[in-house]
Amino acid sequence: MIGRLRGVLLHKAPPWLVVDVNGVGYELEAPMSTFYELPVLGKEVSLYTHYAQKEDSVSLYGFMGEAERRLFRDVQRVSGIGARIALAILSGASVEEFARLVQVGDVAALTRIPGIGKKTAERIVVELRDRAAALAEGVPSLGQAIPADPLSEATVALQQLGYKPAEAQRMAKQAHAEGDAAETIIRKALQSALR
């Protein structure tokens, strides 16, 4: 729906901020990690967004980086975690730190994040451990260049399609032939995965 906003920052009072985009003020909820990087009021800001619609409400969440938005989305796939806890996670730890805690299974550290008890922390570790490396790496943002060589580009694309980093790398290497473009490597890797 709404994936990104660029406009003038009109208001910021955690967790809320308002961005004016051509005369329309968008009210967003954002984690503290985003607030730390916001410019002063009246300056232009660009935010990645997550649009959420429920039966009785519509919410828009803002993030400075794609990695934050991705973590916000991924962590809500764990049963018992909603937007409030996802924002608390991003406010309490960087994406890289959270991914490290999940990888090493540090339940005690995860329980120090507001709203996360021992059982929820254990579920996070179990359900997100396989994705932790991908969370830490993030994905290229709209302003960043995708890796220049076709093999790396294909590997990143396969990860964005949901394959684990190690699996994506293996698939891309097996499909790669000298002179192949990234699109060719991806197509061949996906075809071989279906066999």
What confidence tens digit (pLDDT) does each residue in 134-151 have?
666 654 433 333 445 788
State yes or no: pLDDT of 14 exceeds 70. Answer: yes
Residues 6+ apart with CB under 8 A from 108: none
CATH superfamily assigned to domain 4-63: Nucleic acid-binding proteins (2.40.50.140)
- Give the pTM: 0.66
Q: Could you confirm whether domain 67-137 is CATH 3.30.300.30?
A: no
Strands 4-13 and 24-29: unpaired
Mean pLDDT of the chain: 84
Q: How confident is the model at residue 189 (pLDDT cuts 50, 70, 90)?
A: confident
The percentage of residues in the chain with a pLDDT greater than 70, rounded to a whole number, is 90
Find the helix or strand (DSSP H, E) in which 25 lies.
Answer: strand 24-29
Domain ranges within the chain, ordered by starting residue: 4-63, 67-137, 150-194
Alpha helices, DSSP H only, in the chain?
32-35, 66-75, 83-92, 95-104, 107-110, 118-128, 132-137, 150-160, 165-175, 182-194
150-194 matches 67-137 in CATH topology: no
Q: Could you confirm whether domain 150-194 is CATH 1.10.8.10?
A: yes
Output DSSP code: residue 189. Answer: H
**Dihedral in degrees, nearest 10, Cα atoms 75, 81, 84, 86:** -10
Phi and psi at residue 121, to the nearest 5°: -60, -40
The CA–CA distances, whole Å, from 109 to 71, 100, 104, 127 equal 17, 11, 11, 17
